[in-house]
Structure 1
């Protein structure tokens, strides 16, 4: 089922700009670096997986919003 919803362009543009908060993005980078160095603890691995999943979901939502606007993701 494909449903159409009217939304203000400004709202879709805002969705197209979604990003991880700065502190979360920095933490993600730290955990990825530690992972590459083989230094992650079990709890950190779970945290990394969670942040990666959130980042991927935000990327998909952002890409869909930009597609609706006729723009390419940056």
Structure 2
């Protein structure tokens, strides 16, 4: 039997102003550029890039939730 669960999580509106730290953004950009130049990354670089993308995605989701909350208020 399949069920859907919907959760409502309060989002502080201040999250809408969060930014990915510049140093991490620059590192991710470097890794993506490196992959484009070489066609691949080392195993360690790939793990690092994957982790940075996951962090950036999570931050984007949090920001979106805060922006939606701000629009509703």
CA RMSD of aligned residues (A): 2.2
User: Structure 2: 5+ residue runs without aligned partners?
Assistant: 1-5
Higher relative contact order (CA 8 A, sep 6+): 2
Aligned runs of 1:1-74 on 2, under 5 Å? 2-3=7-8, 5=10, 11-12=12-13, 14-37=14-37, 38-70=39-71
Report the TM-score, using the length of structure 2 for normalisation.
Answer: 0.76
User: Structure 1: 5+ residue runs without aligned partners?
Assistant: none
Larger radius of gyration: 2
Aligned length: 66
Report the TM-score, using the length of structure 1 for normalisation.
Answer: 0.76
Runs of 4+ aligned structure 1 residues displaced above 2 Å come to 1-5
